[in-house]
Structure 1
Amino acid sequence: MAALAVHDLRQLRLRSHRLGESPSRGPAETVRRMLAVQAQNLAGARWSLGLRTPGLTDAALADALRAGTIVQTWTMRGTLHLTAPADAPWLLSLLGPRAWSGRGKLWRDAGLTGAVFEKAADVLGTALEGTALPRNTVLRLLEDAGIPTGGQRGSHILRYLAETQVVIIGPPQGRTQTFASFRDRIPAVEPPGREEALARLAFRYISGHGPATARDLAWWSGLTLADSRLALHLAAPALAVLPADGEPSYADPEVLDARSGGPATAHLLPGFDEYTIGYADRTLVLEERHRSAVGPAVNGLFRPALAVSGRIRGTWEQENRGGSVRLRVATFPGEALPGAHGAAALRAAADRYSRFLELPVVLDGADG
């Protein structure tokens, strides 16, 4: 296979992300395809799924979270993600130890020991059986049991208990976060062996994010580079290896026929969308000279980004005005939208966001 043009690589990535011409049929399928969707900003994560699932509304997605067909927990890197219930146990078993292995000093400084975590697990394992409770109530239960939760202690305890499959974020109560028993919301499954889990991780990551490299997988999953290379080696028979001057890049063979022309497409990506952040090297879709405009900023945040035909060409922000939303789009200097096709693509992207929110969306003109 000849080396692919940058435009073709972007088209492959768009299709892997279900942002191209092969959209998912429902939010549960989208989550399974992506494997995990970063979700410390839950509203943004919900729109990430909306982008990839035609006809999905925010209200319907909230119903899916309440029903538990999609769940939210700290699957990797100590960061909240949305994932399918069946994927949570093996992801946490494989990646949880990597996430908490670097927290020893934080825990010591906070006075957290194995005995504290064990006692907290006993308290919440009993208290949450058959119910879901608001975060503040959960922390009060720990305090009543003699487990201080001040400072960051409560957050460390809850995250560790989630990573060790004792608790999980429960169905939202309005904007209030709840916690539930892990076994109440997650089906009991036989965990795969380590090599099977590594191969599954690599294949599923590439299917939802490719083309991507071992370094990308290592960043996204939190695994070591050696383990990421092993994972891709184990999954390689089911993947396509793309020509590259340096480290091999992998894609799902199903997306290889996606290279095509056509009018410009636009996507209003939320700040932590997987298309932006799911890679160690983001230069395929975001030029280095524009990186600081998108993020990560000093505080670790990413700004919502405008992608046109797979390339990030600006940022956007929204202002909620009662029963409507106003969008302000700012393209990067010298990156004006490509003529009438670009303007039409942006209008179509705003209309899609409007349908997702079920609110009118007013679009301010893009500059550049």
Structure 2
Amino acid sequence: MPLSWDDLAGASLARQFPERTAQFPDDTADSPSPERVATLLGAIGPIQAQNARAPFIGLAARIPGVTHAQISAAYTARSIVRGSNLRGTVHTSTPADHALLDAVTHLGQRAPQARTLRLVETDLAAVWAAQEAFAAQDPRTPAQLWEHLRDWISEHDPTASPRLNDAAGRYFGFGHGGLIREPLTGSWSGQTAPGYRSASAVLGTDYTAARTGFRNDPDATADALVRLHLARFGPASRHDVAWFSGLGLTAIDRALARAAGSLHQDIGPDERIYWSLPDAPPPRSVDGVRLLPEFDALLCSIDPRARRRFVAPEHYDILWRQENGMLLAPLMVDGRLTGYWRLVGAGRKRSVEVTYFARTRKPRRAEFDQPLAALAAAMALDIDGLAVARHTGT
């Protein structure tokens, strides 16, 4: 019998919302545990983080009680890292996952960067190595990396004619996957100016060896990426894995073919084949209310045409603002995305406004007690107000 959208949702929720166990016992803000934060992030997978607060909110929604101090300490200790990778986005991940995302980004970005840089006498590997060497000792700003990229190409490949005077060209200064970013001022959860360091220089020999192994073996990279996606976000179709990774369908198909004997296959409600690992956890429901960050994995790990496993198409069109490519922060009720929410105010003292969609269950005010406490702890805020209203727009 084909899987339903509810079947797919239950299976994915078991991966994205693991049951709380002794792996992550309660800690206090005075005793942060970077390793335990990293254990949780390793279990649920990379969090899309071009909005710096997203990992804080996403982790809090999955393990209520984790604190801003704990997550910040994990960043500072390099137990978790943030970098520009995959589809040109930003992700927070464990160092082990970042080594893989780095190599996947090299595969996915090779063609567009080659078209833009127009190299003649050198190659992309040399360009990327030069950028990493420039950022090995000190954090570099995007402007400094952009200038270094232009100067390096001018010196080492003077016959090239790179198109670097636009946003895409600027991104190539830091977006090849080999760098990790940190705030130059302010907190890890703030949208402050970033500095970039070479991941291999910061994370050491074990990281470098893992990354080098992936970079030197494109098939192994694609194979590991497929297994990461199925373990953290599955079940998944070939389109889901390609969307998340930025790799083409051909590379994903070859990886799935190599692994086919060790994977389960089911037909989904859209008649696509959905792949899963044999040791996947049993499906689960997630009752009540969760406040998720923009670009949460419940949406952004899945091909857009298949996101109805978590949200009705008419509601998805509201959450995803097509005119600017931005997402509203989703409200999850009983495992479905049924609205959106936002913080109101400035400074430490805030309130929360929640909007739920028509023809969905109105969440009860008491259901927000734990989510608001989790949000306050993770963002180090004093949340003293809640407004709940039905969406009235078109």
Would the TM-score normalized by the shorter structure come out above 0.5? Answer: yes
Out of 247-256 and 306-315, give the one that drifted further.
Answer: 247-256
Partner of 1:189: 209
Out of 177-186 and 232-241, give the one that drifted further.
Answer: 232-241
TM-score, reference length from structure 1: 0.82
Partner of 2:30: none
Distance 2:218 2:53 in 1: 33
Out of 238-247 and 272-281, give the one that drifted further.
Answer: 238-247
CA deviation after TM superposition for structure 1 residue 295, in Å: 0.5
The equivalent position to 1:223 in structure 2, one of 247, 262, 271, is 247
Deviations 1:160-197 (A, max 9, x none): 5x43x3x4324653233111123212322141433332
Distance 2:291 2:387 in 1: 14
The equivalent position to 1:97 in structure 2, one of 92, 101, 107, is 107
| Matching of residue 352 in structure 1 with residue 374 in structure 2 | yes
Distance 1:146 1:11 in 2: 50
Partner of 1:11: 10
Alignment of 1:215-364 (within 5 A): 215-244=239-268, 246-259=271-284, 264-280=287-303, 281-337=306-362, 342-361=364-383, 362-364=385-387
Distance 2:380 2:146 in 1: 35
Q: Report the CA distance shift for 1:292/1:76 in structure 2 as closer, same or farther (over 3 A).
A: same
| Alignment length (residue pairs) | 355
Alignment of 1:126-165 (within 5 A): 126-136=133-143, 138=145, 151-152=166-167, 155-160=170-175, 162-163=176-177, 165=178
| Matching of residue 168 in structure 1 with residue 180 in structure 2 | yes
Out of 280-289 and 343-352, give the one that drifted further.
Answer: 343-352
Distance 1:37 1:70 in 2: 11
CA deviation after TM superposition for structure 1 residue 140, in Å: 6.4
Distance 1:49 1:268 in 2: 10
The DSSP-based 3-state class of the residue aligned with 2:96 is coil
Query: Would you say the 8 A contact 1:313–1:332 is kept in 2?
Result: yes
Distance 2:330 2:320 in 1: 10
Q: C-alpha root-mean-square deviation of aligned residues, in Å? A: 3.3
Q: Report the CA distance shift for 1:71/1:256 in structure 2 as closer, same or farther (over 3 A).
A: closer
CA deviation after TM superposition for structure 1 residue 343, in Å: 3.9
The equivalent position to 2:43 in structure 1, one of 33, 39, 50, is 33
Query: Would you say the 8 A contact 1:50–1:58 is kept in 2?
Result: no
CA deviation after TM superposition for structure 1 residue 322, in Å: 3.0
CA deviation after TM superposition for structure 1 residue 217, in Å: 0.7
Alignment of 1:194-209 (within 5 A): 194-209=218-233
Alignment of 1:79-94 (within 5 A): 79-94=89-104
Partner of 1:66: 76
Out of 320-329 and 47-56, give the one that drifted further.
Answer: 47-56
Deviations 1:1-23 (A, max 9, x none): x5555444322211111x25357
The equivalent position to 1:179 in structure 2, one of 189, 196, 221, is 196
Query: Would you say the 8 A contact 1:290–1:332 is kept in 2?
Result: yes
Q: Report the CA distance shift for 1:154/1:61 in structure 2 as closer, same or farther (over 3 A).
A: farther
CA deviation after TM superposition for structure 1 residue 357, in Å: 1.9
The DSSP-based 3-state class of the residue aligned with 1:212 is coil
Distance 2:325 2:62 in 1: 25
Out of 219-228 and 193-202, give the one that drifted further.
Answer: 193-202
Counterpart residue type for residue 56 of structure 2:
R
CA deviation after TM superposition for structure 1 residue 275, in Å: 1.0
Distance 2:218 2:148 in 1: 36
Query: Would you say the 8 A contact 2:50–2:90 is kept in 1?
Result: yes
